[in-house]
Chain A
Amino acid sequence: MKLNSITLGLVAALTLSTTIFAQADDQENQDKYDKKITEAWIRSGSWELDHDSALARAESEGKYVLAYFSRSYSP
């Protein structure tokens, strides 16, 4: 019974710490994303950041969309 309580406690602690680390990672990556989307080339090139807005513009202007997929969480 005591061993089970200790095991359960350890599992709970591990789960909690994993959740805390994942949330910390998420926050760090969100900060990187927020910084990335403010880079000068995006503004100066009028790059759309919203998919639906890009498609709506393509529809109204009769154009195609040049979609560039990259990442912000690492260089």
Chain B
Amino acid sequence: MIPFVNFTARVEGHPSDALSRRYEIRGFPTLMILDASGKKVATPDGRDIASFSATIASLEALDSLRARKDAGEVGLEASILLARLQLGSIDFKQAAKQRKALVKPKKFESSQWEADLVEIDALLFNLKLADMFQNAGRDPDKQAELGEKLYVMAKNGRFASGPMTYQYWSQVMLVAKKKKDVKVYEAGYNALHAMFKDNPRAKKVLAEMKAELDAMR
């Protein structure tokens, strides 16, 4: 990796500021991995060594998949799309389009394809959720509308995973509490408890949620 640092200077006409705008930097610090043409190819999930290592491993896996495809191997499209989703190098619109176009090659004997599709669909759902949250922004009416939509998704068994879990369930549980829906509220509490039970900073919030759940029963 070539390490590159850009400091937004907030000086009229400064090239660093223009570069930050070009990459649509919204907060500091922001880390991303670029290829030699300057295109973003990955966004590490966290800022720790484990996250970086995982991102680099995923990049190497993607490079290897592409090399195999170029060498003529078939049936890798799902794996490649999955790798790009895991790296954060593809947006929802592009990914949904590519997902729709995925066709398993005839006589392709591999359970990897089906396994990849399950993971792709989960990640696509997360991307869709991220889009929905971004569109709702801070508008209270749009957030309320979003909450109702997410509540319906939760009732139909469609759940967020990974990084979208907390945002998703926070909204769903707000609506579930208003509707006195113990089942959905409990599903949210269980999901968040599983994710954050070992995080000392989450102890108070989880305890409050548990108290709320007990009061609803």
Chain B residue with the shortest CB-CB distance to A36: B7
How many B residues touch A, CB cutoff 8 Å? 32
A71 contact from B12, B28, B33, B59, Cβ within 8 A? B28
CB distance from A41 to the nearest CB of B (A): 9
**Total count of chain A residues near the partner, CB < 8 A:** 33
B29 in contact with A68 (CB, 8 Å): yes
Known interface pairs A58-B35, A65-B33. Does A48 touch B5 (Cβ–Cβ under 8 Å)? yes
Structural contact, B7 and A66, CB atoms closer than 8 A: no
Contact of A66 among B2, B36, B38 (CB under 8 A): B2
Residues of chain B within 8 A of A21, CB atoms compared: none
Q: For residue B136, give the distance in angstroms from its CB to the closest CB of chain A.
A: 26
Interface of B is mostly: mixed
**Smallest Cβ-Cβ distance to A45: which chain B residue:** B3
What B residues does A17 contact at CB under 8 A? none
Q: Say if the beta carbon of B108 comes within 8 Å of chain A.
A: no
Contact A67 B6 (CB under 8 A): yes
CA gap between A64 and B42 in the complex, in Å = 10
In the complex, the answer to whether B33 meets A47 with C-beta atoms within 8 Å is no
Q: Which residues of B contact A (CB under 8 A)?
A: 1-12, 14, 16, 19-20, 23, 25, 28-38, 41-42, 59
**14 A–B contacts from the bound complex (CB under 8 Å):** A32-B9, A33-B11, A47-B5, A63-B2, A63-B36, A64-B35, A64-B59, A66-B33, A67-B4, A68-B30, A69-B23, A69-B28, A71-B28, A73-B8
